[in-house]
Amino acid sequence: MPATRTTPDIILIGTTMLLLSIGIIMVYSASADWALVKFNDPFFFAKRQLLFAGVGVAAMFFIMNVNYMTWRTWAKILLIICFVMLVAVLVPGVGMVRGGARSWIGVGAFSIQPSEFMKLAMITFLAKYLAEHQKKITSFKKGLLPTLGLVMIAFAMIMLQPDLGTGSVMVGTSIVMIFVAGARISHFVGLGFVGLAGFAGLIISAPYRIKRITSFLDPWSDELGSGFQIIQSLYSLGPGGLMGLGLGESRQKFGYLPEPQTDFIFAILSEELGFIGGALVLLLFSILLWRGVRIALGAPDLFGSFLAIGIIGMVAIQVMINIGVVTGLIPVTGITLPLISYGGSSLTLMLASIGVLLNISRYAKY
């Protein structure tokens, strides 16, 4: 392996810290009034976000100095541990139910979301597998089928919680990695029809998912029910205009848009900071994507390249889904906006993932 670069990707670090800072400010702005009513503390969510960010940044800078080839050695063990956690979360008394989903393991106020860990573990394992068996990936039976089979087993376990959003991000990221590795488009087309049929089955099997689809097509048909979130989100985006109403001046956060600090934080951001503020955030994400792709292209080996593509692909897919939901382009899925939305496991692991990307940048030639 070539000598370590003197510095990691400074642009990537700066962009990450800018997005994180914007996120902390917006979490406070979006949640202060709700937190005051519910917890008698306007800083309740902001303080926790600051804590998660602190842990995440520490993890990012620590992992940035850990040789990324270490994760290749531990890839299989990490995947097995995550599968065990996915089983444990389904056990009554072990898994914690929030918002109708048994997706957390924890004690008291401390909890982790195993499905978030599975996303990163799957990316690491696939990077190792694809680097070692890239030639097989062109074969449907020997390469593509067993690889996607493993991904779909993890997806099925996540769906038992259920958590369609996180599962979709994991599957989407895996497909991006497999496609980049050289899988044939004809194989994807055939599997695409099967996937659409399975996805339709998942929607039909759960009444609340059907309501999300119908409310997406016509939210005003049930404006106080399944279409409520989308309508309130659009009501946030519209008044923001070009310059916004001003930081802290959102009206939709006063009990109209549920949990505005999480999945729909971009709606509050656009209402307060306008089109310019929203465009700036999307520009920062574009820079993040650009640096990630450059690192992947410049990585000195296939494992580093696939690992970088997986991490930046995960970020890109989450951003596209979240913005799509907020703007009413796709149905509500429950996906947070990376580095911006309030979150514990998701924020900490996202920063840790960027730490891995930064370490790869130390060896990349670009």
- Closest among 226, 326, 320, 207 to 269, alpha carbons compared: 326
Radius of gyration of the chain (CA): 20
Coil vs helix vs strand at 325: helix
pLDDT for 292: 96
Please tell me whether residue 101 adopts helix, strand or coil conformation. strand
Contact 175, 152 (CB under 8 A): no
In 3D space, the residue among 197, 284, 259 whose CA is nearest the CA of residue 37 turns out to be 259
Identify which of 186, 173, 190, 184 has the alpha carbon closest to the alpha carbon of residue 137: 184
pLDDT tens for residues 204-245?
666 666 666 666 677 777 677 667 778 888 888 888 888 889
Structure confidence at residue 169 (pLDDT): 92
Element (H, E) at 118: helix 114-132
CA angle 113, 117, 118 (to 5 degrees): 110
Residue 320: CA count within 13 A, CB half-sphere: 12
pLDDT digits (tens, 9 = 90+) for 149-180: 999 999 999 988 878 888 889 999 999 999 89
pLDDT digits (tens, 9 = 90+) for 107-128: 655 678 888 899 999 999 999 9
Q: pTM of the prediction?
A: 0.90
Report how far residue 47's alpha carbon sits from residue 347's, in angstroms, rounded to the nearest whole number.
14
**For 100-131, b where at least 16 C-beta lie within 10 A, e where not — what string?**
ebbbbbeeeeeebbbbbbbbbbbbbbbbbbbb
The more confident residue out of 249 and 64 is: 64
What average pLDDT does the chain have?
A: 86
Could you report the per-residue pLDDT of 131-150, keeping only the tens digit for each? 998 888 878 778 788 898 99
